[in-house]
Structure 1
Amino acid sequence: MADKQDHGHVHGVVSSPVDASAVFKWAVGLNAGYVIVEAIAGFSIGSLALLADAAHNLTDVGGLLIAWWATVAATRPPTEEYTYGLGRSTIMAALTNGVAILVGAGAVIWEAVQRFSDPVAVPAGAVIIVALLGIAINGGTALMFRAGRKSDLNSEGAFLHMAADAAVSLGVVASAALMLFTGWSWLDPITAILVSMVIVWAAYGLLKASLSVALDAVPASVDHAALKVWMEGLDGVTEVHDLHVWALSTTSNALTAHLVIPSGHPGDAFLDHVAEELREHFGIGHAVFQIELGDGPACRFAPANVP
């Protein structure tokens, strides 16, 4: 079938903000510093709410590092050994990070449950001061990512994560204020459990998404059915089969497909146009096509149940 098939290999570059690395550097530095301050304060005054929030913010640092790593990995060229580059290492890091988050949250919840039978007095005023610092840092970090969130999925995820963390810190302030006026020490472990549940929910989403990507599932940002319909509507294309879409990294998607075009190879201009449309409308920056005439034996990969 070599005389009836041609291959098209096209690339579309998915851009990201030029200063993204600098923004991530500041964000990681600020949040890592706050984690240290919050953890020291939590251990010093015996506040599980602060320790839980410190654990939450530690996951933020991990998430920011993963996103930062992705922007750096995307700039590294492929090698003879790693022909797609090192983008998928961010997926492995996300899986590891998700497991670590669940273990840490589980430990905090266990300790919080023990506190109900052996309550510890917590200086609410100190908790409020540290949590207010968290609101300032998380809120400020979110603003740092706001400018690039529309053009960079990493920045969008970081913005939403930091904004949510500012809200969590606000919850810690509210519970500490209630303790200050009511003296109800049981509010501290309750808040610790609630914050830990937020962490568990975030970790579940991270694990689910990263495991899905690791198994080469179609990226959540890509509508597979709409993509296939669009490709079938291209000029001269009568059939599309063996269509595969997967993530090369947390920021880059790839596609391979067989296009049946009875009139013959449509030319490089056609492939370049398709690549640009895939990049702009579907977020796919790396596409490979096999052109078939459809006048010979049926392609062995045409059936939908053939991987």
Structure 2
Amino acid sequence: MAHVHNHDHNHGGHSHSHAPAEFGTAFALGIALNVAFVIIEGGYGYVSNSVALVADAGHNLSDVLGLAAAWIASVLVKRPPSQRYTYGLRGSSILAALFNAVFLLLALGAIAWEALQRLDSPQPLDAKTVMVVATVGILINGFTAWLFASGAKGDINIRGAFLHMAADAAVSAGVVVSGVVILYTGWVWLDPVVSLIIVAIIVWGTWSLLRDSVAMSLSAVPPAVDAAGVHAYLQSVEGVKALHDLHIWSMSTTDVALTVHLVMPSGHPGDAVLVEICHELEHDFGIGHATIQIETDEATACALAPDHVV
């Protein structure tokens, strides 16, 4: 018996409303300010013998590299598709976020090791210099974080930049407090202790970035997308008897894609219905790139995907 397949790939409803916002000026300004501050903070940290300042300078250096990677990715995602990279280079933003998280955690490991050594052998430091430099850090990092605040919710690449800058501002505030305490008490051991607290705070803030970027790189369903809700909606479409091979994944840190096979024994519903489905997927679930395949022979669909028919 012959089995007829009606395969319709519809790319209607593709919207670019989720495209990354323009943050070129924010990246350029943030990198320039942080490069200058790294030089100042590292130099004064060495002169004043403060491991907290040196630790924060090292962290700021990692942020400069992270900002550069995020900026490059924000440019690459706008590259048009090619014969080899049919999705363009949207995935580079996911790689940048993953690099940002991994590199930061490696830098924190080195900082923690140095702090532990200093804790074993505390050394005198210039508390006033530490306080002044850290105060400058609060201003620079706080301002840089503000530059990325508007995009922190919708793009983990931008969120990574925002979290790093906000954490740096908080860290600098902690260094100022430790400088005040050391100035009046002479407790030089507090400097490496603050460094370890800094590391713990940043690891805590970075963990979600690492988790989300790894999940995206493995094509997991984005946490903001209700996969069960998507399934229920598609199943409720008039004429859909079953569905299979439903896949939802991140094409970039801002774009979500979906592919699905809909079994409709009554026949192809027409392009207007497919456009409406894509519109609903985008409006209700944030999925801007949907590819739908229609199959009219339920028996054949089951044979083709025995483990995936729902």
Structure 1-normalised TM-score? 0.88
- Tell me if the contact between 1:14 and 1:279 (Cα under 8 Å) persists in the aligned partners: no
- Tell me if the contact between 2:263 and 2:301 (Cα under 8 Å) persists in the aligned partners: no
Deviations 1:23-74 (A, max 9, x none): 2222222223222322222222221111222233233334433432332122
Residue correspondence of structure 1 range 289-300 to structure 2 within 5 A: 289-299=292-302, 300=304
Please state whether the residue corresponding to 1:281 is helix, strand or coil.
helix
**1:120 equivalenced with 2:139 (yes/no):** no
Structure 2-normalised TM-score? 0.87
Q: Which amino acid aligns with 2:210?
A: L
Partner of 2:68: 65
Structure 2 counterpart of 1:86, from 67, 89, 95: 89
Structure 2 counterpart of 1:301, from 302, 305, 308: 305
Deviation at 1:2, TM superposition (A): 5.3
Residue correspondence of structure 1 range 137-156 to structure 2 within 5 A: 137-149=140-152, 154-156=157-159
Q: What is the aligned residue count?
A: 306
Q: Which amino acid aligns with 1:221?
A: A
For the structure 1 residues 154 and 268, does the alpha-carbon distance in structure 2 shift closer, same or farther, using more than 3 Å as the test?
farther
Please give the root-mean-square deviation of Cα atoms over the aligned residues, in Å: 2.6
**1:52 equivalenced with 2:55 (yes/no):** yes
- Tell me if the contact between 2:258 and 2:289 (Cα under 8 Å) persists in the aligned partners: yes
**1:264 equivalenced with 2:267 (yes/no):** yes
Partner of 1:210: 213
For the structure 1 residues 19 and 94, does the alpha-carbon distance in structure 2 shift closer, same or farther, using more than 3 Å as the test?
closer
Deviation at 1:256, TM superposition (A): 0.6
Q: Any unmatched runs of 5+ in structure 2? A: none
**1:232 equivalenced with 2:235 (yes/no):** yes
Partner of 1:135: 138
Q: Which amino acid aligns with 1:36?
A: I
Deviations 1:171-226 (A, max 9, x none): 11111111111110000000111112223334443333222222211122222112
Partner of 2:224: 221
Q: Which amino acid aligns with 1:14?
A: S
Deviation at 1:289, TM superposition (A): 0.9
Residue correspondence of structure 1 range 23-62 to structure 2 within 5 A: 23-62=26-65
- Tell me if the contact between 2:81 and 2:88 (Cα under 8 Å) persists in the aligned partners: yes
For the structure 1 residues 96 and 141, does the alpha-carbon distance in structure 2 shift closer, same or farther, using more than 3 Å as the test?
closer
Further displaced range: 108-117 or 61-70 = 61-70
Taking only the aligned residue pairs, the percentage that are identical comes to 48
- Tell me if the contact between 2:142 and 2:166 (Cα under 8 Å) persists in the aligned partners: yes
**1:7 equivalenced with 2:9 (yes/no):** yes
- Tell me if the contact between 1:241 and 1:302 (Cα under 8 Å) persists in the aligned partners: no
Please state whether the residue corresponding to 1:272 is helix, strand or coil.
helix
Residues in 2 aligned to 1:276 and 1:250: alpha-carbon distance in whole angstroms: 21
For the structure 1 residues 14 and 62, does the alpha-carbon distance in structure 2 shift closer, same or farther, using more than 3 Å as the test?
farther
Q: Any unmatched runs of 5+ in structure 1? A: none
Partner of 1:181: 184
